[in-house]
């Protein structure tokens, strides 16, 4: 039996690494009947729109597709939801057990609940592609997370609601409370804490080290706590690749009495690299020949094309 199974898998395009991964995760596949068990399932997958490299990728990503009959209808469900095979693979790579969860008990109740909140199918598709585990847990956990996000001042129709839901859903209550307490140590009031979260929900996912270094830098740059609270996305930017290099440019312009040296820090930091270069660096290289070189040396990204 093992030889027949291995021959079949190779015929379907699986390479040695994929076969090894399949066998390690599902060793009983080697004792399956190649002709009566595996071939019919593989044929069903082909009829379902998978062939060649895609079929091999599907089997290696989720070996149970050739073992558990219940998986086949789930493939069609998820593919219809996300749009195509490639997006299905993306979701499966984010959650290796995606096809194992009960649609009726877990997934569909979560999707219906999100739709009842006014979350569009497009946003639901984005959720599945980015954080599929959000819809594969029990509905009670989803309801609790939604109520918590709403309680923090973000309604379902907000543009950041889904992002806030990601953050709250995957943070345990104790961890969330600890992060809020840590943020309050920088002088933020409760209202400013909630404002910072509404402006940049992912702030609660940042490490304390990153937040601390960001707060220290922004304080030295002259930003008061209330300014940072209303522009909390600043804390999410890379210190070495964005904040410090761009601030270095502003300081150089200011020291040389050039236009832009007193620009609003937030307005400067949110610019794309290309726009920042064209507005603050390139126009001033004649007055400050070393500006571009010093900007790159300070840690900025390479020059955008």
Query: 107 in a domain, yes or no?
Result: yes
Positive/negative CA dihedral, 124, 128, 130, 136:
positive
Phi-psi region of 118 (alpha: psi -120 to 50; beta: other; left: phi over 0): left
Residue 154 confidence (pLDDT): 95
Query: 207 in a domain, yes or no?
Result: yes
CA-CA distance, 277 to 271, in Å (whole number)? 9
Please report which residue ranges of the chain form alpha helices under DSSP H.
Answer: 2-11, 16-25, 39-47, 52-61, 71-82, 85-94, 108-116, 121-130, 139-151, 161-170, 173-184, 190-199, 208-220, 225-230, 244-255, 265-269, 273-276, 291-297
**pLDDT score of 97 more than 80:** yes
Query: 45 in a domain, yes or no?
Result: yes
What number is the average pLDDT over the span 54-80? 87
What number is the average pLDDT over the span 80-93? 95
- State which of 234, 257, 279 marks the end of a domain: 234
User: Global pTM?
Assistant: 0.81
Asked whether residue 12 falls in the same domain as residue 62, the answer is yes
Query: 215 in a domain, yes or no?
Result: yes
Residue 211 confidence (pLDDT): 97
Query: 78 in a domain, yes or no?
Result: no
What number is the average pLDDT over the span 229-245? 97
Residue 250 confidence (pLDDT): 96
Residue 23 confidence (pLDDT): 86
Query: 218 in a domain, yes or no?
Result: yes
Phi-psi region of 238 (alpha: psi -120 to 50; beta: other; left: phi over 0): beta
CA-CA distance, 285 to 292, in Å (whole number)? 7
pLDDT confidence tier of residue 37, bands split at 50, 70 and 90: confident
Asked whether residue 8 falls in the same domain as residue 56, the answer is yes
Tokens of 254: 């200011």
Instruction: Give the count of domains, the chain.
Output: 4
Asked whether residue 102 falls in the same domain as residue 162, the answer is yes
Tell me the per-residue pLDDT of 244-277, one tens digit each, with 9 for 90 and over: 999 999 999 999 999 999 999 999 999 999 999 9
Residue 292 confidence (pLDDT): 93
Tell me the per-residue pLDDT of 179-217, one tens digit each, with 9 for 90 and over: 999 999 999 999 999 999 999 999 999 999 999 999 999
Asked whether residue 24 falls in the same domain as residue 47, the answer is yes
In this structure, the number of other CB atoms found within 10 A of the CB of residue 282 comes to 13
Residue 14 confidence (pLDDT): 86
Residue 304 confidence (pLDDT): 59
Q: Residue 246 in contact with residue 276, Cβ under 8 Å? A: yes
CA-CA distance, 145 to 139, in Å (whole number)? 10
- State which of 69, 85, 119 marks the end of a domain: 69
pLDDT confidence tier of residue 295, bands split at 50, 70 and 90: very high
**pLDDT score of 289 more than 90:** yes
Residue 285 confidence (pLDDT): 93
Residue 301 confidence (pLDDT): 67
Tokens of 297: 């040396």
**pLDDT score of 305 more than 80:** no
Asked whether residue 143 falls in the same domain as residue 189, the answer is no
Asked whether residue 99 falls in the same domain as residue 157, the answer is yes
Asked whether residue 134 falls in the same domain as residue 188, the answer is no
Asked whether residue 198 falls in the same domain as residue 180, the answer is yes
> Which residues constitute the domain of residue 188?
172-234
Q: What percent of the chain has pLDDT over 70?
A: 98
Least confident of 42-46, 243-247, 277-281: 42-46
- State which of 234, 256, 272 marks the end of a domain: 234
Asked whether residue 227 falls in the same domain as residue 246, the answer is no
**pLDDT score of 65 more than 90:** no
Q: Give the contacts of 87 (CB within 8 A, at least 6 positions apart).
A: 79, 125, 129
Query: 279 in a domain, yes or no?
Result: yes
Mean per-residue pLDDT over the chain, rounded: 92
pLDDT confidence tier of residue 156, bands split at 50, 70 and 90: very high
DSSP letter, residue 293 = H
Q: Residue 132 in contact with residue 95, Cβ under 8 Å? A: yes
What number is the average pLDDT over the span 112-118? 97
Per-residue burial over 62-80, b if 16 or more Cβ lie within 10 Å, else e, is bbbbbbeeebbebbeebbe
Residue 72 confidence (pLDDT): 83
CA-CA distance, 107 to 169, in Å (whole number)? 15
188 to 191, 217, 226: CA distances (angstroms):
8, 16, 7
Residue 99 confidence (pLDDT): 92
Query: 303 in a domain, yes or no?
Result: no
Asked whether residue 104 falls in the same domain as residue 136, the answer is yes
pLDDT confidence tier of residue 105, bands split at 50, 70 and 90: very high
């Amino acid at each position: 039996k093992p030889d027949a199974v291995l021959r079949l898998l190779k015929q379907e395009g699986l390479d040695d690494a994929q076969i090894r991964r399949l066998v390690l995760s599902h060793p009983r596949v080697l004792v399956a009947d190649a002709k009566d068990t595996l071939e019919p399932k593989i044929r069903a997958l082909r009829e379902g729109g998978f062939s060649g490299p895609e079929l091999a990728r599907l089997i290696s990503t989720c070996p149970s597709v050739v073992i558990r009959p219940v998986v086949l209808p789930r493939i069609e469900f998820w593919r219809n939801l996300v749009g195509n095979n490639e997006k299905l693979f993306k979701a499966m790579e984010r959650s290796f057990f995606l096809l194992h969860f009960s649609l009726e008990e877990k997934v569909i109740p979560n999707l219906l609940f999100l739709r009842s909140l006014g979350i569009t199918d497009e946003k639901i598709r984005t959720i599945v592609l980015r954080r599929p585990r959000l819809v594969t847990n029990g509905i009670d956990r989803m309801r609790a997370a939604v109520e918590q996000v709403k309680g923090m001042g973000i309604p379902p129709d907000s543009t950041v609601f889904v992002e806030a839901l990601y953050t709250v859903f995957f943070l345990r209550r104790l961890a969330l409370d600890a992060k809020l307490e840590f943020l309050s140590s920088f002088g933020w009031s409760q209202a400013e804490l909630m404002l910072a979260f509404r402006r940049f929900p992912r702030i609660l996912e940042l490490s304390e080290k990153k937040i601390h270094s960001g707060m220290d830098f922004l304080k030295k740059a002259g930003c008061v706590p209330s300014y940072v609270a209303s522009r909390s996305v600043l804390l999410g930017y890379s210190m070495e690749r964005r904040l410090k290099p761009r601030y270095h440019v502003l300081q150089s312009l200011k020291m040389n009495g050039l236009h832009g040296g007193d620009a609003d820090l937030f307005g400067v930091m949110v610019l794309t690299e290309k726009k920042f270069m064209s507005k603050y660096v390139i126009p001033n290289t004649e007055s400050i020949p070393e500006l571009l070189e010093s900007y790159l040396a300070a840690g900025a990204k390479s020059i955008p094309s």
